Structure 1
Amino acid sequence: MRTLGILGGLGPMATAYFLQLLTQMSDARTDQEHMEILLYSKPSIPDRTDYITGKSEISPVEDMVMAGKKLREMGADILAIPCITAHFFHQELERRIGFPIIHAIEETAFYLEEEKVSRAGILATDGTIQSGLFQKALKQRGICPMIPDAESQKGIMEIIYQEIKAGKEVNMPLFYQIAENLFDQGAEVILLACTELSLIKRDHSLPAGCLDVMEVLARKAVQSCNRVREEYARLIVRG
């Protein structure tokens, strides 16, 4: 059984939920059958979206490399980063840290292809949207990516930063409206493509057709180190 390293704290509550998902998804009957996990939670890492969008000149890369190397030294065999925006730096991080990092975006695109999805809406940070990482990965699998309009994207950023990260109540009517707009435009699946948005799925009912990217990441992490429970074979919310 391989040891999973988690570069966490981006943000802290999403990391805590990621650990919960790993435990829930593992096909383990005793404590001893669960996977070995090493966690380095480093919330002081500079904001990824601010750097990608040019609002900050402080790169988060050096801190992430340091944390990743520490996890490797402690015995991790593979790394997961429960922050989708951080995947912008995936190639550099994997090269400099020196061991495999699960790519949540590519895994999601692969899963959607398996599910024969042709159009997917993306709810994510400005950094993830502007990077084009999801758009590129989806197009490579023959899937049409759809992003919110400017006003809806502003609403998603408010939900992520002013509400979820701040520990406040989520404006669920706004979230439902933004998701419904993408469904109305032809999206077959709506991606919760920010690990903060994963907390909405944890705490609220979501419309059929939503897919939590952090669940995709968690399932791949468990598959890489252990066995996945059968009930997690399908991840898209069903009606």
Structure 2
Amino acid sequence: MRTIGLIGGMSWESTAVYYRRINEQVRERLGGLHSADVLMRSVDFDAIVALQRAGDWVQAAQVLADIGRGLEKAGADCLLICTNTMHKLADDVQRAVSVPLLHIVDATAAPLKEKRIARPLLLATRFTMEEEFYRARLRNRFGIEAIVPETSDERGMVHDVIFGELCCGVVKDSSREKYRAVMARGKAQGADAVIFGCTEIGLLVGQDDTDLPVFDSTFLHADAAVDFALAKSAALVA
């Protein structure tokens, strides 16, 4: 079994989901008392958010790259950044290490392609919805044209619920209803699926909250790590 390196804490609420999902999947696949071989570095999220708000992505990249190097030195055979937004810096982290960084967009796109999803609704932070790094990778590598909520107010609500509630462990029925409404409007826009493109969104809503197929990036990313850890060769990440 290969060792999985997790760059976590952004937020720790979703990193806990990663840890549980990875271990559940290893136990399911191997049985008995098996669990995953995991190294984790969990950051103080407030410091990362301060860099995001300041637009200091250079410093943020340095922080994540240093963590990645540390995990590699400690024995990690692959790395995961346990957040969608910080994949804005994925290339910087990959350049800093020699082990593969398993990209969350690639893990999410694989089942989308398999199900022939062409126009998913992307729900995420403003950074992920409004900047190009995420949607461009879906488009350029996989031919998937993700859409986002049409209005700035809708995108702001999705973002604010993530940072103001879910990252703080707060789950509100009123916010669930708002997300349900956004997903319904996404279907009216022509969406053929929903991507939970923030690792906390699954704490609030799930497949029962929409009649569109849901692709939860947290579970898909964690499962990709298990695939890598249990693979008999490095072919999966070639």
Same fold at TM > 0.5? yes
SS at structure 1 position matched to 2:146: strand
Pairing of 1:25-174 with structure 2 (within 5 A): 25-26=25-26, 27-31=29-33, 33-44=34-45, 46-47=47-48, 51=52, 55-57=54-56, 59-140=59-140, 141-149=142-150, 150-170=152-172, 171-174=175-178
CA-atom RMSD in angstroms: 2.1
State the secondary structure of the residue aligned to 1:145.
coil
Provide the identity percentage.
22
For the residues of structure 2 that align with 1:44 and 1:173, how far apart are their CA atoms?
27
Give per-residue Cα distances to partners, 1:82-106, cap 9 Å, x unaligned. Answer: 1011111111111113321100112
TM-score scaled by length of structure 1: 0.86
SS across alignment from 1:121: strand
**Partner residue, 2:210:** 207
- Could you tell me how far apart the structure 2 residues matched to 1:40 and 1:90 are? 16
Q: Distance in 1 between matches of 2:205 and 2:98?
A: 33
> Following TM superposition, by how much is the alpha carbon of 1:124 offset from its aligned partner in structure 2, in angstroms?
0.7
> Contact 2:13–2:169 (CA<8 Å) still a contact in 1?
no
Query: Which residue of structure 1 lines up, in the alignment, with residue 195 of structure 2?
Result: 191
The verdict on how the C-alpha distance between 1:30 and 1:201 changes in structure 2, with shifts beyond 3 A counting, is: farther
Is contact 1:8–1:81 with CA below 8 Å preserved after alignment? yes
Bigger shift: residues 151-160 or 105-114? 105-114
Aligned-partner residue type, residue 159 of structure 2: M
Query: Offset of 1:44 from its aligned partner?
Result: 4.4
- Check conservation: 1:48, 1:86, Cα contact below 8 A: no
Name stretches of at least 5 consecutive residues in structure 1 with no aligned partner: 228-239
Give the total of aligned pairs. Answer: 223
Q: Is the 8 A contact 2:117 2:144 kept in 1?
A: yes
